[in-house]
């Protein structure tokens, strides 16, 4: 039984109401009461507070029936903005979204250096620019989440970024001390799985997202919560050994999965095979369409090694939904059926295997969603940006 003082209960009720307004986009007071089980007096007091704070707005619903038009409640999307950042191997991407997750501006910058102080300076400069853009709104820039392609602990310290060779960096404090803004650091694979649940698979309690880009990361959602492990290092599935004494890996081991099933490893191998530098997705698409033998052979090997890793993941976690985030597989016809044909274990069970619709945007979408979740201080959040443009 839930117990606590009045302020604690009031805060719980507030979180429930905000979550439902976000989920339904527009909802009446009466429907809020029905959905939440809260009485009308509680709804009335909470809604009044949220209106006074400028976090929600009222509109009259248009309808053709006789009688009073119901007053609908919705989030004030323009009251503030969230900034998501994807810090990858060669690029930094910034996306500013409104408070319902609709992107309003995106910038991508090429990285010319892996030096921590250089990249820190770039981050501070651009975050400051975004902060200044938002000063005329009620709440301004409400927070920043940075997705890291490496190991982040539970204290949001960067333990290791293989692609940049960073060790034990406190990026959170370095930025916060300079700008005085709420900054959160999260592993990119965790943000990808969060995006899948928040924007797409709202009802899935057990969802895994495997990202196959510069490395391989696993985002784990169990019972609707991120599973991060004792120190926060869970999900480094790219360093699962699939070929004993195989290709050397930057982690110090040999034969790691990401040396065979990441896009980075595929592009490296295909470039060597074709003796061509700067191979792009368009080149791969063209070679696949023409059934170019070397490309088709290497895609077969790529899918084989993906399947080996997925088989292990399925046996470990028994997921409801397993999402593969990989642009290469989006180019390849029947990729899912080919992978499933190689998942032959009689003990491995899952409900659905699919390729992410979000692609490389998943990390930054998850980052914006996490800013919004933290700003509203809600335990759960469902966003839907697929059916209309941001206002």
List the CATH number of the domain containing 334.
3.30.420.40
pLDDT exceeds 90 at position 28: yes
Position 94 scores a pLDDT of: 98
Residues 256-264, mean pLDDT to the nearest whole number = 96
Cβ neighbours, 10 Å, residue 27: 20
Q: Answer whether residue 389 is part of any domain.
A: no
Same domain as 259, residue 213: yes
Q: Answer whether residue 111 is part of any domain.
A: yes
Same domain as 285, residue 210: yes
Residues 335-348, mean pLDDT to the nearest whole number = 92
Q: Order the strands of the 206-212 sheet from edge to edge.
A: 225-226, 216-222, 206-212, 321-325, 352-355
Is residue 389 very low, low, confident or very high in pLDDT (cuts 50, 70, 90)? very low
Q: Answer whether residue 102 is part of any domain.
A: yes
Q: Answer whether residue 391 is part of any domain.
A: no
The CATH number given to whatever domain includes residue 34 is 1.10.10.10
What number of residues does the chain have? 391
Retrieve residue 160's tokens.
Answer: 């290791």
Q: Answer whether residue 386 is part of any domain.
A: no
Q: What is the percent of the chain with per-residue pLDDT over 70, rounded to a whole number?
A: 96
Same domain as 212, residue 100: no
Same domain as 347, residue 371: no
pLDDT exceeds 50 at position 35: yes
Same domain as 108, residue 20: no
Same domain as 143, residue 31: no
Residue labelled with tokens 């797409």: 200
Same domain as 136, residue 164: yes
Position 345 scores a pLDDT of: 83
Domain, as residue range, for 345: 202-359
Q: Answer whether residue 182 is part of any domain.
A: yes
Q: Answer whether residue 62 is part of any domain.
A: yes
Contact 85, 129 (CB under 8 A): no
Q: Answer whether residue 387 is part of any domain.
A: no
* Burial of 2 (C-beta count, 10 Å sphere; 0-12/13-18/19+): exposed
CA distance 362 to 385: 13
Same domain as 29, residue 111: no
Mean pLDDT of the chain: 92
| Cα 369–chain centre separation | 8
CA distance 198 to 365: 9
Same domain as 224, residue 103: no
Q: Where does 111-157 show beta strands of DSSP type E?
A: 140-148, 151-152
Single residue among 75, 98, 117 that ends a domain in this structure: 75
Position 64 scores a pLDDT of: 58
* Beta strand 103-110 pairing with 140-148: unpaired
Single residue among 75, 103, 130 that ends a domain in this structure: 75
Instruction: Tell me how far CA of residue 155 lies from CA of 83, 158, 164, 186, 230, in angstroms.
Output: 20, 9, 20, 10, 11
pLDDT exceeds 50 at position 390: no
Position 267 scores a pLDDT of: 96
Encode pLDDT of 104-158 as tens digits: 999 999 999 999 999 999 999 999 999 999 999 999 999 999 999 999 999 999 9
* Beta strand 56-60 pairing with 71-75: antiparallel
The total of structural domains in the chain comes to: 3
Is pTM, for the whole model, over 0.95? no
Alpha-carbon torsion 256, 303, 232, 166, what sign? Answer: positive
> CA angle at residue 300 from 292 to 235, to 5 degrees?
135
Same domain as 355, residue 226: yes
Of the candidates 378, 386, 381, 370, which has an alpha carbon nearest to the alpha carbon of residue 148? 370
Position 224 scores a pLDDT of: 84
Of the candidates 121, 190, 102, 181, which has an alpha carbon nearest to the alpha carbon of residue 150? 190
Retrieve residue 12's tokens.
Answer: 């719980």
pLDDT exceeds 90 at position 391: no
Retrieve residue 173's tokens.
Answer: 């404090």
Contact 219, 235 (CB under 8 A): yes
Same domain as 341, residue 355: yes
Position 6 scores a pLDDT of: 82
Single residue among 28, 48, 75 that ends a domain in this structure: 75
Residue labelled with tokens 């990390």: 363
Same domain as 157, residue 287: no
Contacts of 8 (CB under 8 A, 6+ apart): none
Contact 254, 246 (CB under 8 A): yes
CA distance 186 to 260: 25
């Amino acid at each position: 039984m839930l117990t606590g003082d009045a302020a604690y209960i009031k805060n719980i009720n507030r979180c429930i109401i905000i979550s439902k307004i976000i989920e339904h986009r527009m909802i009446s007071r009466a429907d809020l009461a029905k959905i939440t089980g809260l009485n009308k007096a509680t709804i009335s007091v909470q809604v009044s507070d949220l209106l006074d704070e400028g976090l929600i707005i009222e509109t009259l619903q248009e309808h053709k029936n006789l009688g009073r038009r119901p007053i609908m409640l919705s989030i004030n999307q323009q009251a503030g903005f969230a900034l998501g950042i994807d810090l990858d191997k060669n690029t930094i991407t910034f996306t500013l979204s409104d408070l319902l997750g609709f992107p309003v501006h995106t910038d991508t910058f090429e990285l010319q250096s892996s030096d921590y102080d250089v990249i820190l300076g770039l981050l501070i400069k651009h975050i400051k620019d975004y902060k200044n853009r938002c000063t005329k709104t009620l709440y301004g820039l409400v927070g920043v989440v940075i997705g890291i392609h490496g190991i982040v602990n539970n204290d949001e310290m960067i333990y290791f970024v293989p692609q940049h060779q960073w060790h034990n960096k406190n990026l959170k404090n370095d930025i916060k001390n300079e700008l005085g803004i709420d900054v959160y650091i999260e592993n990119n694979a965790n943000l990808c799985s969060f995006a899948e649940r928040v924007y797409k698979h709202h009802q899935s309690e057990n969802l895994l997202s495997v990202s196959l880009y510069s490395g391989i990361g696993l985002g784990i959602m169990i019972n609707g919560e991120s599973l991060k492990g004792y120190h926060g290092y869970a999900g480094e599935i790219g360093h699962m050994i699939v070929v004993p004494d195989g290709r050397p890996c930057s982690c110090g081991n040999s034969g790691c999965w990401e040396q065979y099933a990441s896009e980075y490893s595929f592009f490296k191998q295909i470039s060597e095979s074709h003796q061509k530098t700067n191979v792009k997705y368009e080149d791969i698409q063209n070679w696949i369409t023409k059934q170019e033998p070397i490309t088709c052979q290497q895609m077969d090997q790529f899918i084989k090694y993906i399947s080996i890793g997925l088989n292990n993941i399925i046996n470990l976690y028994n997921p409801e939904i397993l999402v593969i985030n990989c642009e290469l597989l989006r180019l390849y016809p029947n990729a899912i059926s080919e992978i499933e044909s190689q998942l032959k274990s009689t003990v491995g069970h899952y409900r659905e295997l699919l390729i992410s619709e979000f692609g490389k945007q998943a990390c930054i979408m998850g980052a914006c969603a996490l800013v919004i979740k933290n700003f509203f201080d809600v335990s759960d959040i469902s966003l839907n940006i697929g059916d209309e443009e941001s206002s």
